[in-house]
Amino acid sequence: MNDMLSVVIPIYNEERIAVGVRRVMGVLADAGIPYELILVDDGSVNDSWNQITDLANEYDAITAIALSRNFGKESALCAGLDAAEGGCCVCMDSDMQHPPEVIPEMYRLWKEEGYEVVEGVKNARTKENPVYRFCANTFYKLLKKMSDIDLRNASDFRLLDRKALEAWREMPEKNTFFRGMSTWIGFRRTQVFFDVAERETGTSKWSAKGLVELAVNAITSYSSVPLYMSTCFGLLFLIFFLVMFIQTLYMKFAGQAQSGFTTVIILQLIIGSVIMINIGIIGIYIKKIYEEAKGRPRYIIRRKIKGGRRDEPSE
Ligand code: UDP
Ligand code: MG
């Protein structure tokens, strides 16, 4: 049985990567876990790639992959997971907000208790910005309602067995959402809880725009409820229309047709905005279909260095 653990770490413009990487290797070595580390440089514009190649040259267990540009964390994870050769793999952030000390427990649950997916679940964060927490909670509630996928406090920090990994890789969508997809596949699963550490170095790479995009992507990937919503709005307004229609006719025959100007304006505004919103929703789904139909690769590898040896650019 292949009992090697592949640890995949996406990296984008990070500083002092070696500190975190050595910490991970220390924990795994202490626990006696056979491992490989896959560091994916997601098109960083600082010296991240140099830091990563230095590490790959120093340690045989490290594979370094550079993407041809910044594809985003999801694609970087795909690149890393595709390169993973272990019997199981763990994804984690390079800023050590996912404490590596939890990995041996995840590995034990996989190896000794036969779980195929071990999810890292965040303990409630106390220091989080309340606005952010409110937005995140609303988002998870919406997602749970619309798609039955509960991602509250879920993270990308999770262990996948080889079988689960293959199932995930066989999903053809180009636009991936790792957290959601690796929940959707099922398998025997369990959870471990961890405290989110403060970021060790550098700053968070997520902008508000990026988070909104992620939220829209997640909802439209797992739910078609927004599309049905258009029909519901439509029906609601149909009832409204009927009432107004009868009232207008009545006014006309009663000879009071001049009034009702306000109603017309209000109706125009409401109907106009509802139609615009619904066209927008349909547009989002069409964009997704269009992007999937193009069938572009999830990422492009510029360079790959395996345990000190330089491979030709591939894929
Ligand atoms: N990351 C990436 N590509 C991106 C943005 C982020 O590979 O376009 C990596 C980043 O280097 C880090 C992880 O994804 O290892 C999580 O990023 P970050 O800490 O900025 O996100 P947060 O912890 O705030 O969710
Ligand atoms: Mg972080």
Is residue 197 helix, strand or coil? coil
12 Cβ closer than 6 Å to some ligand 1 atom: yes
User: Does the structure show a pLDDT above 80 at 66?
Assistant: yes
At 42 the pLDDT is: 92
Alpha helices in the chain (DSSP H): 17-30, 48-58, 73-83, 103-111, 130-147, 162-170, 178-184, 208-222, 225-253, 261-294
At 126 the pLDDT is: 60
Q: How far, in Å, is the centroid of ligand 1 from the Cα of 187?
A: 27
pLDDT per position as a tens digit, 103-129: 999 999 998 988 999 998 888 766 667
Nearest Cα to Cα of residue 86 among 61, 65, 67, 66: 61
pLDDT exceeding 70 applies to what percent of the chain? Answer: 92
User: Does the structure show a pLDDT above 70 at 93?
Assistant: yes
At 5 the pLDDT is: 92
At 299 the pLDDT is: 92
pLDDT per position as a tens digit, 238-261: 888 788 878 878 877 887 766 666
Where is average pLDDT lowest: 38-47, 221-230, 274-283? Answer: 221-230
- What's the CA gap between 156 and 150, in Å, rounded? 14
User: Does the structure show a pLDDT above 90 at 144?
Assistant: no
At 176 the pLDDT is: 83
Are 283 and 226 a contacting pair, CB within 8 Å? no
Beta strand 154-161 with 301-306 is unpaired
95 Cβ closer than 6 Å to some ligand 1 atom: yes
The ligand 1 atom at the shortest distance from the C-alpha of residue 9 is 15
User: Does the structure show a pLDDT above 90 at 307?
Assistant: no
94 Cβ closer than 6 Å to some ligand 1 atom: yes
- What's the CA gap between 64 and 11, in Å, rounded? 10
- Supply the DSSP symbol for 176: -
- What's the CA gap between 236 and 294, in Å, rounded? 37
At 37 the pLDDT is: 93
At 162 the pLDDT is: 92
Q: How far, in Å, is the centroid of ligand 1 from the Cα of 299?
A: 16
Is residue 124 helix, strand or coil? coil
129 Cβ closer than 6 Å to some ligand 1 atom: no
97 Cβ closer than 6 Å to some ligand 1 atom: yes
Residue with tokens 């909802």, as numbered in its chain = 219
At 310 the pLDDT is: 46
The ligand 1 atom at the shortest distance from the C-alpha of residue 13 is 11
Q: Which CATH class is domain 5-203+298-312?
A: alpha beta
Structure tokens that stand for 76 in this block: 């970087």
User: Does the structure show a pLDDT above 50 at 279?
Assistant: yes
- What's the CA gap between 54 and 14, in Å, rounded? 14
Q: How far, in Å, is the centroid of ligand 2 from the Cα of 154?
A: 14
Are 314 and 301 a contacting pair, CB within 8 Å? yes
At 212 the pLDDT is: 78
Sheet holding 88-91, edge to edge: 189-194, 117-122, 154-161, 88-91, 5-11, 35-41, 62-67, 301-306, 309-311
At 145 the pLDDT is: 81
How far from 222 is each of 150, 155, 218, 226, CA to CA, in Å?
A: 11, 17, 6, 11
Are 142 and 149 a contacting pair, CB within 8 Å? no
At 201 the pLDDT is: 65
73 Cβ closer than 6 Å to some ligand 1 atom: yes
User: Does the structure show a pLDDT above 60 at 312?
Assistant: no
User: Does the structure show a pLDDT above 50 at 69?
Assistant: yes
72 Cβ closer than 6 Å to some ligand 1 atom: yes
**Mean pLDDT taken over the chain:** 83
- Supply the DSSP symbol for 245: H
pLDDT per position as a tens digit, 181-208: 888 888 998 988 888 877 766 666 667 7
| Ligand 1 pocket mutation, candidates 46, 47, 95, criterion most atoms within 8 A of CB | 95
- Supply the DSSP symbol for 157: E
- Amino acid letter, 98: H
Nearest Cα to Cα of residue 44 among 84, 71, 8: 71
* Burial of 65 per CB tally in 10 Å (0-12, 13-18, 19+): buried
User: Does the structure show a pLDDT above 90 at 67?
Assistant: yes
User: Does the structure show a pLDDT above 60 at 314?
Assistant: no
pLDDT per position as a tens digit, 145-182: 877 777 777 788 999 999 999 998 888 888 888 888 88
Beta strand 88-91 with 5-11 is parallel
Beta strand 117-122 with 5-11 is unpaired
User: Does the structure show a pLDDT above 60 at 313?
Assistant: no
